[in-house]
Chain A
């Protein structure tokens, strides 16, 4: 089942390259068919999934590389299932949004996204550390090409920076994994999680993990690749990058850092919390002064990811409490990841809609969009509100959970984190004011046509998801409850040798 989820899009993607040479029309429908089929397959995952238990389900375990004891080992739990669903939903939307991409290399375009989808699902399923690393790094290749081939004017700089940054980060992950393998004699993530290291080893392993995942998620101060990559990437690339790729970093913290190096995590949590708070406040202020819409949303993403890392690492201050606040913090971080996937994806789609019309991302080039594009303006305002964290939208749930939990850990964490409600509102709404409202900025803006059917469909789906998660997040939380509980147990152990 999980193999199907991984290999179906990859096979479909490879098929899309020759199909693109034959017919532009055919390749579009092929890509859509593959994306939808993968989505349906991932939905069927939900029906067979038992959320009551934390054990890995749908497991597959086949020897792969004998010389290194590597297994092709897959499985999902309550933490990975939501992320897989997020991936498949977003990919369908990206395929639809890329429908009218320049026909010159359309086959390659869809191929890159479908292969990327397969690799991202692979990251969330992999139970073997080397397999995880392979998917984790392999994702760089299609993303590098997506930004480099279909990106904006400074695409080469942006994509090389993106590649080298993440490559540099993840290479330390590899060293740490090899080291763990030689100590523990296995690459199985589940067994590595139970392995005990000395304190010094834990610190080093934790730092190696931190470099890899902090770059990916990205955390302040290693976030600088993200604004460049986002600005230059094509719309679909930005959507996938913001909605899914960043979550791989958060997922890595949950799978590797917290359980495998829980002692070091607890000791160094304060550092992560500080960096998260800086991201939330300082990067929020940086977002305020951006003139480019994509850059603004990119900085806003970094600030929102600050909540994720805050939620994941504030737990160590909550373990001595009798209530469930630690679980709430991790779940809040997870909800924030899913919610940010929808919201940031939607925001980038919105900017893409505008960019398709007058080929500018500068806020100053717009104004009064509401007059020419009322339907679009409605959607854009909804997503902006969700980005701000308005109650009733998904953005509210995750942030509230994290803030509440961190309030119990330290009042000042909560106060600083809650500043985002002010700063986030300021930069998002100010952008909306300048872009959407007011008199039409110029005649080109006044002449813009409203959404076409495909754009409407994409944004509608995302709106429904954002509202659903905002009004009734219980199913998502129930889905991950058992797994998060298990994770917290593991993180609570002082796993020293």
Chain B
């Protein structure tokens, strides 16, 4: 708060990202054909630089800037790091796909950078306004990305749905925030928390506001019963964009939930816990059961995402540091797995054939053994089978639930994960137990393939050496 200079220094990653994204946007306009390559490589460089910068500012304490609008704490650092990494990985996977469909335009990366900026802003937001700004920045970029193939009617439909429902969700969130503002007279998370703590009686209006905020969060997460947009958007968007939607917003939704519910409204724990129980139970059940009926793999992974969201919220709803750490770990692992799974689909799809249906995966175990193996690992990991890191993610959530005495919720969750195993196994079945209809030889730039291989193998490597990441998640939320 001493000087503007110090504040800006603290927010340097965001400032750099904003400047770089704008520069890339302008430069690529004048670079002609080389614009796409320029945008791609400079985006990677910028993301790398921001990640390094964020890494250097790691701090054990909380620091505030811009009159406590902006918070710099371990959680913000962690989310920013993972966001930069995710964006870079998504760009690498997406590029061959976009090139093959001749959609390789610099705007993809520019929009991606702005979306990442949105996540960074949310990660450091300590004020309702800033949370909302970050959220809208992310969402608007995503709406535009969904119609990146502007001639596709599926994509247009998905984008309209996404936009309308997303706007409703934002409206809900804003409404909830405005009621809270009316009740507490502040938009600052710490002040709201302090105000709520000093109150003696519960008021209906408070719960009312809370309900709107939870609904808004559930919408953004895509949790049941506010999940209607998820399968359509996953399905309608170009696979490379689905990859982005399946990963980045999950990190954002996680950090937004922690900021709003834990930092701001921890005093109302018992109230939002009850609301989240309903949402998680429905998400875990519906997500897993409906995924079984899907024949389109993108829709299947969409419902699978809904069930994984349920698991993340299960960690959050325990309301303890332990549960938050479990949820962060789950989110990171889920983003890793989703990036890998959609990455494999994008890679196969970038060989010039459709990869939308489950049957398109037939016989890939024979024709493309390496990437089929990667997909196999990712599927077992999503199912939570040991020997893959997905097991720890489930175990951690399970432990936090049992610790907080929610044994029946734990049992329900894992019984549903057995149902979930069924459709992940089906992917393996198509790849390994069926004969291929046509041969598929994966070619393409080595960068995407190398990144994908690392991504897949990480599932095993993190299983054997989980300590660094687990300890990090615990430290971040302590």
Instruction: Give me the interface of A with B, judged by CB distance under 8 Å.
Output: 65-68, 105, 130, 133-138, 140-141, 144-145, 148-149, 155-156, 159-160, 163-164, 167-168, 171-172, 174-175, 178-179, 181-182
Please tell me if the beta carbons of B474 and A167 are within 8 angstroms of each other in the complex.
Answer: no
Q: With the chains together, A68 CA to B394 CA distance in Å?
A: 13
Identity of the chain A residue whose Cβ is nearest the Cβ of B404 in the assembled complex: A182
Interchain nearest-CB distance for A110 vs B (Å): 15
Residues of chain B within 8 A of A155, CB atoms compared: 433
Interchain nearest-CB distance for B390 vs A (Å): 11
Interface string of B405-432 (1 = CB under 8 A from A): 0010011001101100110011011001
Interface membership of B387, Cβ < 8 A: yes
Interface bin, chain B: 20 to 34
Instruction: List 5 A-B pairs, minimum CB-CB distance, nearest first.
Output: A67-B470, A134-B386, A138-B387, A137-B386, A148-B433
Please tell me if the beta carbons of A182 and B399 are within 8 angstroms of each other in the complex.
Answer: yes
Interface residue from A105, A163, A178, A179 paired with B425 (Cβ < 8 Å): A163
Identity of the chain B residue whose Cβ is nearest the Cβ of A168 in the assembled complex: B418
Q: With the chains together, A145 CA to B377 CA distance in Å?
A: 12
Given pairs A65-B392, A65-B470, A178-B398, 9 additional interface contacts (CB within 8 A): A65-B466, A66-B470, A130-B395, A134-B387, A141-B380, A141-B385, A144-B428, A164-B422, A168-B415
A-B pairs with CB below 8 Å: how many? 92
Please tell me if the beta carbons of B391 and A134 are within 8 angstroms of each other in the complex.
Answer: yes
Residues of chain A within 8 A of B22, CB atoms compared: none
Interchain nearest-CB distance for A130 vs B (Å): 8
Residues of chain B within 8 A of A138, CB atoms compared: 385-387
Please tell me if the beta carbons of B386 and A68 are within 8 angstroms of each other in the complex.
Answer: no
Residues of chain B within 8 A of A149, CB atoms compared: 365, 432-433
The residues in B between 268 and 320 inclusive whose CB is less than 8 angstroms from any CB of A are none
Interface membership of B100, Cβ < 8 A: no
Interface residue from B365, B418, B433 paired with A167 (Cβ < 8 Å): B418
Please tell me if the beta carbons of B402 and A141 are within 8 angstroms of each other in the complex.
Answer: no
Please tell me if the beta carbons of A66 and B418 are within 8 angstroms of each other in the complex.
Answer: no
Q: With the chains together, A140 CA to B433 CA distance in Å?
A: 16
Q: With the chains together, A159 CA to B418 CA distance in Å?
A: 15
Interface membership of B467, Cβ < 8 A: yes
Please tell me if the beta carbons of B403 and A182 are within 8 angstroms of each other in the complex.
Answer: yes
Q: With the chains together, A149 CA to B395 CA distance in Å?
A: 30
Please tell me if the beta carbons of B399 and A178 are within 8 angstroms of each other in the complex.
Answer: yes
Please tell me if the beta carbons of A181 and B399 are within 8 angstroms of each other in the complex.
Answer: yes
Identity of the chain B residue whose Cβ is nearest the Cβ of A72 in the assembled complex: B464
A148-B398 contact in complex given A67-B471, A137-B386, A164-B418, C-beta closer than 8 Å: no
A174-B425 contact in complex given A65-B467, A66-B467, C-beta closer than 8 Å: no
Return 13 A-B CB contacts under 8 Å, by A number. A66-B471, A67-B471, A68-B396, A105-B366, A136-B386, A141-B385, A148-B429, A148-B433, A149-B432, A164-B422, A171-B415, A171-B417, A175-B407
Please tell me if the beta carbons of A137 and B385 are within 8 angstroms of each other in the complex.
Answer: yes
A178-B386 contact in complex given A144-B425, A148-B429, A160-B422, C-beta closer than 8 Å: no
Identity of the chain A residue whose Cβ is nearest the Cβ of B468 in the assembled complex: A66
Please tell me if the beta carbons of B387 and A141 are within 8 angstroms of each other in the complex.
Answer: yes
Q: With the chains together, A357 CA to B433 CA distance in Å?
A: 24
Residues of chain B within 8 A of A163, CB atoms compared: 421, 425
Q: With the chains together, A191 CA to B410 CA distance in Å?
A: 24
Please tell me if the beta carbons of B398 and A175 are within 8 angstroms of each other in the complex.
Answer: yes
Residues of chain B within 8 A of A164, CB atoms compared: 418, 421-422, 425
Please tell me if the beta carbons of B402 and A178 are within 8 angstroms of each other in the complex.
Answer: yes
Please tell me if the beta carbons of A174 and B414 are within 8 angstroms of each other in the complex.
Answer: yes
Interface string of B454-478 (1 = CB under 8 A from A): 0000000000001100110010000
Interchain nearest-CB distance for B330 vs A (Å): 13
Residues of chain B within 8 A of A172, CB atoms compared: 411
Residues of chain A within 8 A of B410, CB atoms compared: 175, 178
Residues of chain A within 8 A of B365, CB atoms compared: 149
Q: With the chains together, A460 CA to B432 CA distance in Å?
A: 35
Please tell me if the beta carbons of A140 and B385 are within 8 angstroms of each other in the complex.
Answer: yes
Q: With the chains together, A174 CA to B392 CA distance in Å?
A: 12
A174-B467 contact in complex given A134-B386, A182-B403, C-beta closer than 8 Å: no
Interchain nearest-CB distance for B323 vs A (Å): 13
Interchain nearest-CB distance for B461 vs A (Å): 14
Please tell me if the beta carbons of A175 and B414 are within 8 angstroms of each other in the complex.
Answer: yes
Residues of chain A within 8 A of B386, CB atoms compared: 133-138
Interchain nearest-CB distance for B438 vs A (Å): 18
A68-B395 contact in complex given A149-B433, A175-B410, C-beta closer than 8 Å: yes
